[in-house]
A and B are shown apart, each in its own frame.
Chain A
């Protein structure tokens, strides 16, 4: 997989299809860090491990480069989906972006609890099936079951938050300037732990239909809060009710942008009045 990727990258630079390749470089002293390869000779030092999410870096590189700078990104499935979401939101111009898609191993998928460990445009590596996060015991313990216990468990975890904004800073989709989380009206300023309900629920909810489950948020969290798991049931609803998953292609728009009686919907009957949503669903 590494050789294929290197060859593709070299070819892209040689044929001037892109001005730079964003990937990981293993430099002197075996130090690994992200790098924009502009010189084909540097590609000898390209590596694909460890999992290092590049979508946000890619967006920054393109934003701060000249208009016709084209970037090729070596991306895993989640990175590609994040880039697609950014294209949908007009943060990246599709014609300035190329991808070299690589597949994740089953071990990596199990670590990330990922059910789609490969990009749609797969160029190197073999796609594996991944794992269903909702089958994982620890996830189930926090998402399903006794409400009161779960409420306390989530509160205990979120109370650890040291307000580093790492989740927001590293999320490829979090791009708003100004960010509501920094607005006094919504979230108290200058206190730790961060106010759990507004900070974390506003953040999680704003991502509801865009989250690509890359896990950057929880990887950046210094206090091990499983932030990604907050998104699982919303993603499940979107998939089961509307057949929608974020980041699969640049055309399909989020179902939340259309009303309940426009496509896409699940062909359900909405009664003339809807009293309580839970009651209607019978749950």
Chain B
């Protein structure tokens, strides 16, 4: 893939801080991406990740607080097992579990955010596009 499109769910206590900081510094990032702020990483529905992939997003990153640092009573822990299983399903279908990236507490500084995105971009690069899976009926949503 040339320019993988990345969707980032960033929890506003950690990940969003890094994203904002990177934005303010106008750090150049290699790929089109969009950040959606969420209260907590645990609120990200797996269905939303699936829908994003169907809408042409190539990779989804969920940025949360570090283990032990969640403001909402360790809610970030509850999301881990769900994400693992979704990874399994994505792997089964050949779509690829590495399109889903889940990061705890590694993106609350601007350079960290930049690194996380760049790493994700590198991982997604060699993957084929999801073309065969998209808009199968030809009706544009």
Contacts and interface: CB of A to CB of B under 8 A. Distances in A.
A278 B95 CA distance: 14
Contact of B51 (A143, A192, A198, A237): A198
A233 interface: yes
Interface in B53-112: 53-54, 66-68, 74, 77-78, 80-98, 100-106
Given A234-B85, A234-B89, A272 B50 contact: no
Contacts of B92: 143, 229-230, 232-234
A255 interface: yes
Contact of A201 (B66, B93, B105, B128): B93
Interface in A236-283: 236-238, 241, 255-256, 258-262, 270-278
Contacts of A258: 78, 81
Contact of A270 (B50, B67, B106, B141): B67
A208 B15 CA distance: 28
A115 interface: no
Interface residues of A, number: 55
Given A148-B128, A277-B97, A193 B137 contact: yes
Interface stretch (A96-104, A119-127, A150-158): A150-158
A156 B94 CA distance: 12
A272 B106 CA distance: 10
A276 B101 contact: yes
B139 interface: yes
B74 A261 contact: yes
Contacts, number: 159
B65 to A, nearest CB: 10
B138 to A, nearest CB: 8
B74 A273 contact: no
A187 to B, nearest CB: 9
Nearest to B132: A155
Contacts of A108: none
Contacts of B54: 195-198
Contacts of A277: 83-84, 87, 97, 100-102
B35 interface: no
A159 interface: yes
Interface in A167-222: 180, 186, 188, 191-198, 201-202, 204-205, 208-209
Interface string A104-130: 000000000000000000000000000
Contacts of B66: 272-273
Interface of A: 143, 147-156, 158-159, 180, 186, 188, 191-198, 201-202, 204-205, 208-209, 229-230, 232-234, 236-238, 241, 255-256, 258-262, 270-278
16 contacts: A150-B93, A154-B93, A159-B136, A180-B47, A192-B137, A196-B136, A198-B50, A205-B86, A230-B92, A233-B92, A234-B89, A237-B88, A260-B78, A272-B105, A275-B106, A276-B102
Nearest first, the 7 closest Cβ-Cβ pairs linking A and B are A151-B94, A150-B94, A259-B77, A197-B54, A191-B137, A155-B132, A260-B80
Given A197-B53, A271-B67, 9 more contacts: A147-B94, A159-B136, A198-B50, A198-B54, A259-B78, A260-B77, A260-B80, A274-B103, A277-B101
